Amino acid sequence: MEYETPLFFQVMTYAADADRDVIDVVSGNPDWEPPQALRDGLREYADLEPEAFQYAPSVGLTALREEIAARRGVDVEQVIVTNGTGEANYLAMARALERNRGEEILLTDPVYPYYPGKTTLLGGRQRFVATDDDGQLDPAAVREAASEETAAIVVNSPNNPTGAVYPERTVRELVAIAEEYDALLVSDEVYDHFDLEGRFASALEVESDTRIVTNGFSKSMAITGVRVGYAIFPHDLVENARSRHMLVNVSTNRPGQYAVLNALRETEPAYYERNRDLLRERVETFTDALDAAGAEYTTPQGAFYVMARFEDFPGTLENTYRLIDEAGVAGMPGEAFGESRREWFRFALVTPQIEEAADRLATYFG
């Protein structure tokens, strides 16, 4: 599998160059409004004194770290504000590998492709554990794959691409397995606000000094371009991660941190609930169309993706291009996410044209 140049870019380029109008359900860019307080924070920022335009503290603005720590029930010293969840994952995986307690990173299949990409980048080895048909991860399978070579177990719930949300017992078991093998559990929780059925359990609920939780505001505040995320490290592991963050980035985008802090303080729960409602509606519209198309699919419990398989039309890159040219819908080929879903496509429900995309698929396959 080719992880180094995410297939995502190839598909986006093909769709952009197509000779017809194409609905983009490729990428995970929310199409809804960020919180008003986020916009207000950015506007306010433009008029601040010159010192506000200089480096932020490398670990992040103190007030933002305090706000995150209070919300997550951790010590502020454990929090590093990062360039999105992407950097938080990189810091966590790097921290696991530099402990020299194994070179293997356990990942799920299907997988969010940046994890294996980062593993290669960091000189580690991937080992995959298949999820079940619903995208659920069996802790017994993880235990079987774990060994002295395991540096980290990297999981994501709510999950991209399957939409699975792991129950608390799975999260608990994953932490226990990491502890048994002196590995780190890295729990990427970037879709925690898109827990559509109220099942989500954070790894923070399990007390442990071997788990790192990563998160960010790209999805919850619909600001993938602002680049603010965070990692929560155990006390013993945070120091090296801070240094790596500083050496790679100096610090994270300061206006973004300021605006996120404003939005965290000012945004009512109703904002997040509205976005979940919107997604629930889209899931229904889209899966109805998949039924009409005779497709097999998984209904997401969280995040904003649907995986589907069409009869005699496997989710190869070639068929992804055909779907763009012949149906005017751009999805992602299943092979981008590992071996187990090679026959499938992934569709991101983040366009106001979801109904039209659904109709086009129903017509094309129906």
**Span 137-176, contacts to ligand PLP by CB under 6 A:** 156, 160
> What is the spatial distance between Cα 99 and Cα 281, in angstroms, rounded to a whole number?
45
Tell me how far apart the alpha carbons of residues 69 and 233 are, in angstroms, rounded to a whole number.
11
List the one residue out of 284, 341, 287 whose CA is nearest residue 159. 341
User: What is d(CA 268, CA 86) in angstroms, rounded to the nearest whole number?
Assistant: 26
Closest CA to 40 of 205, 260, 193: 260
Dihedral over alpha carbons 262, 267, 271, 273 (to 10 degrees): 120
Q: Does 110 bind ligand PLP (CB under 6 A)?
A: no
Q: How far is the CB of 118 from ligand PLP (least distance, A)?
A: 10
Q: Does 300 bind ligand PLP (CB under 6 A)?
A: no
Asked if 333 is part of the footprint of ligand PLP (rule: CB under 6 A), the reply reads: no
232/212 Cα distance (integer angstroms): 6
* 188 touches ligand PLP by CB under 6 A: yes
- 178: phi then psi, degrees, rounded to nearest 5: -60, -45
Strand order in the sheet with 305-309: 296-298, 305-309, 345-348, 332-333
Sequence-separated (6 or more) residues with CB below 8 Å from residue 140: none
Q: Which of 229, 256, 315, 331 binds ligand PLP (CB under 6 A)?
A: 229
Q: How far apart (Å, rounded) are the C-alpha atoms in residues 109 and 115?
A: 11
Residue 54 burial (CB < 10 Å; 0-12/13-18/19+)? exposed
Smallest gap from residue 191 Cβ to ligand PLP (A): 7
Q: Of 224, 240, 253, 316, which lies in the binding site for ligand PLP, with binding defined by CB under 6 A?
A: 224
CB closer to ligand PLP, 3 vs 181 = 3
Q: Is residue 116 close enough to count as binding ligand PLP by CB under 6 A?
A: no
Strand-by-strand arrangement of the 79-82 sheet: 79-82, 229-232, 211-216, 184-188, 150-156, 104-109, 125-130
Q: Residue 288 CB, nearest distance to ligand PLP (Å)?
A: 25
Q: Which one of 12-20, 83-91, 263-271, 339-347 is the stretch in contact with ligand PLP (CB under 6 A)?
A: 83-91
**Pattern 231-270, ligand PLP, x by CB under 6 A:** ----------------------------------------
* Stretch 14-73 residues interacting with ligand PLP (CB under 6 A): 28
Q: Considering only the stretches 52-60, 84-92, 140-148, 335-343, report the one whose residues sit in contact with ligand PLP under the rule CB under 6 A.
A: 84-92
Q: Give the contact letters, 201-220, x = binds to ligand PLP (CB under 6 A), - = no.
A: ---------------x-x--
Nearer residue to ligand PLP within complex by CB, 110 or 216:
216
Question: Cβ atoms within 10 A of the Cβ of 247, count?
Answer: 9
Judged by beta carbon, residue 139 or residue 229, the one nearer ligand PLP is: 229
Q: Is 320 in the site for ligand PLP (CB under 6 A)?
A: no
- Nearer to ligand PLP by C-beta: 208 or 224? 224
Q: Which residues bind ligand PLP (CB under 6 A)?
A: 28, 84-86, 112, 156, 160, 188, 190, 216, 218, 224, 229
